[in-house]
Structure 1
Amino acid sequence: MSDRAAGAARLKALRKSRGLSLAETARALIAIAENLGQPRSSLPSVAGLQRSVARWESARPSRPDERHQLLLAHLYARRASGGVCLGSGSDFAELSEALAYLGEGEHRLASLRLTLLRTATERGDGILALLPSNAQSDIAKALVDPTRLDTAIARSLMEVVTEVNSAVGSLPFVRLQLVLTPVLGTCRQLLAASLPASLRTALLDTAVTAATLAGRLAFETRDDVASRALYAEASRQADHLAPWRRANVGLSHALVTLYSAPGTEGARLLVSSAVQDATTGGSRVVRARAHALQAEIAARARQGRQAQDALRLAWYDLDRAGDEGHPAPISFSPAHLHGFEGLCELYTGSPVIAHDRFETAAAALGAPRERVQRAIVRTDQALALVRMGEPEAAASLLHECVSAAAETGGRVCTMRLARARRELRPWRLENWVVELDDRLLDLLES
């Protein structure tokens, strides 16, 4: 059986598992389109849509177009109880696999999933949507009787954390907090029980990842007290895991400390500790990230030589990270490191070189998960343009960053925007600065 035939067979099996005829499927899709506000005049007839459904399931199948994929996604993501389910084992997961067999690309499938996740968070049932199909009842039983806990439950909770992490930059931070909070509460309650060592380690892995991400989300929503508490919790739990896990917590904490505490001393101490943990740990990726952040802090202190030394160590580790057997599940790539290079040049070297490094980094940061980081890099690039004597080009570039900050609510992005705007004060009466100020005011009012 070919891939396309397998995809058609899966679509047919999925429809029949719901007990739907071709005509019933067509009517259901039309009803969904109407609920989504699509004009009735643009919708096909039941007979026409029925023929389309049949073609998708035929021996020589066609692939549903993007509009029909969205309708199918809403149909199969919805449980009989009315809730949304996107986790492994769900009908939505089966639909995604069928569409992949029919030739749909990974980016489009990720976009469909994000659209449904947005719907779920609007309804307030985000965690239920992301749990694997049967995990909700298993977790409920384990909370009552921790002896029922198994590694599958820990994996189910980690799936939610991973999904929330991947949605950073695509959904507002406050919505992601709402999804992540129940995972943290569940981990805390289960870890309070007496558990076998292997299960405790698996659950700690989820808890550390969740608390670290929650600390970052709390910072982004300007709750610094909660952020510090969450990072402290993650650090305590990471003491029982591999050293690179504690280093990873420390690096995330150091990054937010740079923007939530005066000076750089607090962040420097956290980074120094993280570098020690990363050096003795098992992840070159974490080690590279630690040296990169060490370089930034040195550059902010105008210590150019120390910054360049740290950058060289970062490149050394990152170039060899592909050889390690257990890479850390964090996003730190050459694109990110180019951003750190640009920042170091901005503080201690040439704005022209900084601009070029930022341009290289931004061009490679194209994934939805990297949108916040791309906006931060672009604001720094705009600052380099100002120092190169090109303020109008800087203002034009900052418009892109305003959009990203408005849609994600990113705190660092907003702070970098404010810093870049201050550099434009000598040109505050120019039309292109006034237009930028209007956009910034819209951001504050939204």
Structure 2
Amino acid sequence: MPKRRQKLKQRRKTLGYSQESFAYAVGVERSTVVRWESGETEPRAWHRPKLAEILQLSLDELDDVLAVSPANEADRLSFTLRNPSTVDLVTVAHLAQEIERLSAGYDTAPSASLLAAAGQCHSQVTLLYEFAPTGRIRRALAFSVAESATLMGQLIWDASQRRDDVVPLRYFDQAISAAREISNPLLEAHAQLRKGFVALYGTKDPSEGLRLCRETALVSESTSNVLTGLGHLHVGEAHAMLGQRRDCEKALHAAEVSFDRIRSDDEAMPMFSSSQFDRMAGSCYLFLGVNGKAEEILTRTARSLIQWKKSQSIVLGNLTLAYIRQGKLEEACGTLHQAIDLIEEPRGGGGMNIAFSAGRELAPWRHEPWVQEISDRLFGLMTT
């Protein structure tokens, strides 16, 4: 059960009001003030401007004064979900921390294992967002909706091994809508970039991916050099998929320029790693059929991704493809086994799909014992 609205009571007393005189000033019964202060009821929307005036507060400050104080966070959240109009900044901060915790586990835990908790958290912030009053609380909830919707899109797409394109796009669109409401280009660009990934790797539509990633770079241009650089990188990848080497290398150069301008206070810094450029450049040259150059870049990149298991599995899968296409089968066998080792831990959809592609390209050698061993491991991944 919530405790009393101590801040409301204290503010009333500080200004010299008894419950009776306060009720008279607001134009309600004393029993109404008693219920407000006990947390039993919530002041109606039409009472709030008058309350703010009498208590000499802004509407945002009034929201804080009207916040109830449950015994612990679980009680607070439970009470707020039953009474969404009582949402306060403390509850919003608690949910934001949970979203951050789940996002931090993305690279180390299987996406499917995070889905239930992430789905519950997203449902909670969405519910509270619908009931939130205008002002600071609604803006904070819009921020959390954008973050949690983007995370949900990532998790669902990853857990489906990049087969479900429809549901993730709905989440990304929800994130973009929430980000635009609070004029946050960083959150908007992140969700837009994720939509670009679906076009590039899911629906296999490089022209649409090119459009979305260009939009990412434009939206984030004045906000984040990290996201602008990532947008340019994937613009380059889209050009590579279309066989346009000159345009691809031009976009890679633009990405390098953006990355060189990154400052330590860039809010998208957690999305950046020093190996990002080489990882994508290697992928680009693989698409362009320049396999020797792709091998050189990807070999260097794989060594620098020890802590990024999902990314490392993608690099090793692409390196395997570069080896196969040059006839370096012994090297391909080694890197594909390493990729599968990593995929078995977080089960990242991207690495898994590339590993299966490499397995298919080994079909001409399917009677070789070492290829049969790889096929058995890939089959195990598919059936788990």
TM-score (norm 2): 0.76
Report Cα offsets for 1:39-66 as digits up to 9, x if no partner.
xxxxxxxxxxxxxxxxxxxxxxxxxxxx
CA distance in 2, matches of 1:233, 1:302: 33
Residue identity matched to 2:98 = V
Q: How does 1:20-419 map to 2 (within 5 A)?
A: 134-222=72-160, 223-240=164-181, 241-279=183-221, 281-322=222-263, 325-328=265-268, 330-348=270-288, 350-367=290-307, 370-419=308-357
Cα 1:360–1:152 shift into 2, 3 Å = farther
| Cα distance in 2, alignment partners of residues 298 and 330 from structure 1 | 26
Deviation at 1:147, TM superposition (A): 5.0
Deviation at 1:426, TM superposition (A): 2.5
Identity level (%): 25
Runs of 4+ in 1 over 3 A off after TM superposition: 144-148
- Assess if the C-alpha contact under 8 Å between 2:214 and 2:232 holds in 1: no
In structure 2, give the amino acid aligned to 1:267.
G
d(CA) in 2 for partners of 1:350 and 1:225? 33
Map Cα deviations across residues 174-214 of structure 1 (whole Å, 9 max, x no partner).
11001101111111111111424222221111111110010
RMSD: 1.9
How many Å apart are 1:431 and its aligned residue? 1.9
Shift of 1:285: 0.6
Identify the residue that residue 73 of structure 1 maps to in structure 2. none
Post-superposition shift, 1:349?
A: 5.7
Distance 1:297 1:225 in 2: 20
Question: Hey, what does 2:367 align to over in structure 1?
Answer: 429
- d(CA) in 1 for partners of 2:151, 2:93: 17
Q: Is the 8 A contact 1:318 1:333 kept in 2?
A: no
Displacement of 1:234 in angstroms is 1.0
Which AA in structure 1 matches 2:73? A
Conservation of the 8 A alpha-carbon contact between 1:380 and 1:416: yes
Match of 1:68 in 2: none
Q: Please tell me the residue identity of whatever aligns with 1:284.
A: N
171 and 194 in structure 1: CA distance in 2 versus 1, 3 angstrom threshold: closer
In 2, the alpha carbon distance for the partners of 1:382 and 1:293 equals 21
The change in CA–CA distance for 1:199 and 1:239 in structure 2 (over 3 A counts) is same
Larger radius of gyration: 2
- Residues 206 and 239, structure 2, Cα contact 8 Å, conserved in 1: no
**Equivalents in 2 of 1:410, 1:404: separation in Å?**
9
1:93 aligned partner: none
Letter in 1 for 2:198: V
- Size of the alignment, in residue pairs? 310
Alpha-carbon separation, structure 2, partners of 1:143 and 1:136: 11
What SS class does the counterpart of residue 107 from structure 2 fall into? coil
**Letter paired with 1:406:** E
Deviation at 1:169, TM superposition (A): 3.4
AA at the equivalent of 2:100: T
